[in-house]
Structure 1
């Protein structure tokens, strides 16, 4: 397993959206430094329900552990390889109302920005964007400090934050170097909670495991290990500044120490393989080994946890025959959208016929086609096209799939429901009138 100290530090590739800034809209993004949530109370339950529905639409199977000891504020943090899907599945797998923080254009872009502002998303102008001249230092510092202070106060008030501490979505099979921003507002949120006599917040590492993260209808396992305690300073001057609306930086030693703890924890629940071929090879070996021990794996969560046995196995090292053979097998299976579940006891491909299930499935799809076409057909086609032509990497494919469904539930579906209701009411009225005429003529 790769040690967290070896995490690569790779700057994000900036999309066209990240290179355009809208200072006027950024100034108007809702914020709050009192401990209340800056988002819309009405929008939260509606959008969370729509997000939950979207999650079940784009994922095939979902296994979710429950967060441990969730009293007080929580900062959920995970590896970030799947665009907007990562925060989506965290938000919908726990019960707290959440606040998020993301790059500046998520709060200002058309339509998407309208939703994120009502959810309370806080914009951040990253260093790489400042280096590219997207924003001057003074404006970036003002926006960032306002956002960090909002996050700290909101978390101290018992809400949850969802953050991606790598600072970008990427495609690697191991954790990238963590940015310190989340740790800075985490320590300050703990200081604010302590000064107010509230329950101390904690950082909750999250393991997000996708069978293949950029596939539509893939499998998901959400893992919650032990939360991390957040230190506080017990400094009246520090807390007075924070309570008075002034952002002050916590000590660098505390920030670095907390960052290291989170890196170590996330490393344990992240793939941490040399590449995805190696990671899939571990899963192949997990299936083979579990069958040899007469305890075959029955779920994706079991597969993920069992595969960790081969991370530091003395005989499963780079260049070993076992690993090379497993990588070859996993690559062949993956190229045909198969995995270790397809292997028979004799190490061939299972030949079990599923003809009846196939006929039944096709029949159901054909019956549902008219409804699916009018309710989601156009959006799904547009999402497929935009996902395949995005400049934001392969992870943006599932983001567009999600947005196609999410926006359907908020726009197209209500409109169709209204017209359908009007049509049904019209038919009923016609039937009543015809019945009245028939009765009257008798």
Structure 2
């Protein structure tokens, strides 16, 4: 990992402390410290998903992301420096699909060299709280790696990412690392049976690590009952038990707490008026996919907002004095911390 990547990771990790009111990490003990690892995760929330996984474990991880975000050269350069690799889909054109051969080849070499890769086997993102059917892309990487280097161990670590309000601010998130699967054990089966069983096992693991509303149930109805019951979406085990038992309970909203939170958010918006105007009337209306709302808002928060506070502090120092500027800057940081209930101990590991 380069110095740039370490600095970016540290900055994003710090920014998440202000962005989320709670950031829980469970099961880090399931991540092999060394050797080839393929992280496979559910995919709800655009480019936020790889970021929260990237900062929640110590492995130097490469990421597979859809090729569409690499279209502009400046984005492609930045994402490549951050160890992201483009993956092409049918909608990108048949000729583009052929480029996946090169990407898969790079993935095999990375795993051969004992690196870690993150892939989203659902093949797309969706805000629905369920694990969708898995594509064959990740199994292709696994089988190609094992067929070429059967003596090398490859661990598949399922990851469940859970948000309580993925399109709102502030929100909460938990990252759950499941027990690793030793991919080499699937070599005892025929290629067809190995791929089928691997997809089944990974899908089953993911449904336990994140909220999963089965296809057999009416999605909107079940989600509405879960929201009304104010379940803790950061604890998918309990939520999934609620779904299966259909023992939905409704609790009274904490009105006073909500009023205080709303007041603090409004005060923060007033203090961040220019970035908010840029977001509300410039960026937000242009986002066609709701799965990218959080991505662009977070990008704005870690780039424009700090600069805005610095420029306002400079203006205050010029108009009044440096003491007033320091007080304002401290107030702005404290206010952002209060709204997000920032805790520098919120990164915690659970078995």
Provide, for residues 166-196 of structure 1, a one-character-per-residue CA deviation record: whole Å limited to 9, x for no partner. 111123332222111112112333455544x
Q: Does the 8 Å contact 1:286/1:307 carry over to 2? A: no
Q: Could you tell me which residue of structure 2 aligns to residue 225 of structure 1?
A: 178
Q: Could you tell me which residue of structure 2 aligns to residue 140 of structure 1?
A: 97
The structure that is strand-richer by fraction is: 2
Equivalent of 1:255 in 192, 195, 203: 195
Q: Could you tell me which residue of structure 1 aligns to residue 43 of structure 2?
A: 80
Give the 3-state SS of the residue equivalent to 2:300 in structure 1.
Answer: helix
Q: Does the C-alpha gap of structure 1 residues 219 and 354 become closer, same or farther in structure 2, counting only changes over 3 Å? A: closer
Q: Does the 8 Å contact 2:154/2:184 carry over to 1? A: no
Provide, for residues 2-52 of structure 1, a one-character-per-residue CA deviation record: whole Å limited to 9, x for no partner. xxxxxxxxxxxxxxxxxxxxxxxxxxxxxxxxxxxxxx7232112212322
Q: Within 1, Cα distance between the matches of 2:203 and 2:154?
A: 18
Q: Does the C-alpha gap of structure 1 residues 403 and 113 become closer, same or farther in structure 2, counting only changes over 3 Å? A: farther
Q: Could you tell me which residue of structure 1 aligns to residue 131 of structure 2?
A: 175
Give the 3-state SS of the residue equivalent to 2:290 in structure 1.
Answer: coil
Give the 3-state SS of the residue equivalent to 2:24 in structure 1.
Answer: strand
Q: Does the C-alpha gap of structure 1 residues 366 and 396 become closer, same or farther in structure 2, counting only changes over 3 Å? A: closer
Q: Could you tell me which residue of structure 2 aligns to residue 7 of structure 1?
A: none
Report whether the alignment pairs 1:389 with 2:345.
Answer: no
Q: Could you tell me which residue of structure 1 aligns to residue 348 of structure 2?
A: none
Give the 3-state SS of the residue equivalent to 1:173 in structure 2.
Answer: coil
Give the 3-state SS of the residue equivalent to 2:79 in structure 1.
Answer: helix
Q: Within 2, Cα distance between the matches of 1:191 and 1:407?
A: 44
Q: Within 2, Cα distance between the matches of 1:106 and 1:188?
A: 26
Q: Within 2, Cα distance between the matches of 1:119 and 1:218?
A: 25
Matches within 5 A, 1:12-51: 41-51=2-12
Equivalent of 2:225 in 281, 293, 304: 281
Q: CA deviation at 1:153?
A: 1.8
Q: Could you tell me which residue of structure 2 aligns to residue 400 of structure 1?
A: 296
Q: CA deviation at 1:101?
A: 1.2
Q: Does the 8 Å contact 1:76/1:90 carry over to 2? A: no
Q: Could you tell me which residue of structure 2 aligns to residue 125 of structure 1?
A: 88
Equivalent of 1:95 in 32, 44, 58: 58
Q: Within 2, Cα distance between the matches of 1:350 and 1:277?
A: 23
Q: CA deviation at 1:350?
A: 4.5
Provide, for residues 213-268 of structure 1, a one-character-per-residue CA deviation record: whole Å limited to 9, x for no partner. 22221121222221222127889xxxxxxxxxxxxxx9343222211211111122
Q: CA deviation at 1:69?
A: 4.2
Q: Does the C-alpha gap of structure 1 residues 108 and 416 become closer, same or farther in structure 2, counting only changes over 3 Å? A: farther
Equivalent of 1:116 in 59, 62, 79: 79
Q: Does the 8 Å contact 1:203/1:227 carry over to 2? A: yes
Q: Within 1, Cα distance between the matches of 2:137 and 2:25?
A: 27
Give the 3-state SS of the residue equivalent to 1:179 in structure 2.
Answer: coil
Q: Does the 8 Å contact 2:27/2:178 carry over to 1? A: no
- 5+ long unaligned stretches in structure 1: 1-39, 236-249, 288-298, 317-321, 327-339, 428-442
Q: Does the 8 Å contact 1:157/1:193 carry over to 2? A: no
Q: Within 1, Cα distance between the matches of 2:110 and 2:174?
A: 28
Q: Does the C-alpha gap of structure 1 residues 229 and 279 become closer, same or farther in structure 2, counting only changes over 3 Å? A: farther
Report whether the alignment pairs 1:272 with 2:212.
Answer: yes
Q: Within 2, Cα distance between the matches of 1:163 and 1:170?
A: 15
Give the 3-state SS of the residue equivalent to 2:244 in structure 1.
Answer: coil
Q: Does the C-alpha gap of structure 1 residues 92 and 190 become closer, same or farther in structure 2, counting only changes over 3 Å? A: farther
Q: Within 2, Cα distance between the matches of 1:88 and 1:105?
A: 18
Structure with more contact order per residue of length (Cα contacts < 8 Å, sep ≥ 6):
2
Q: Does the 8 Å contact 1:202/1:229 carry over to 2? A: yes
Q: Does the C-alpha gap of structure 1 residues 383 and 73 become closer, same or farther in structure 2, counting only changes over 3 Å? A: farther
Equivalent of 2:105 in 124, 134, 149: 149
Q: Does the 8 Å contact 1:191/1:232 carry over to 2? A: no
Q: Within 2, Cα distance between the matches of 1:116 and 1:350?
A: 42
Provide, for residues 116-157 of structure 1, a one-character-per-residue CA deviation record: whole Å limited to 9, x for no partner. 010122112212322xxxx52xx531x211111111221332
Report whether the alignment pairs 1:65 with 2:26.
Answer: yes
Q: TM-score, normalised by structure 1?
A: 0.60
- 5+ long unaligned stretches in structure 2: 323-351
Report whether the alignment pairs 1:307 with 2:239.
Answer: yes
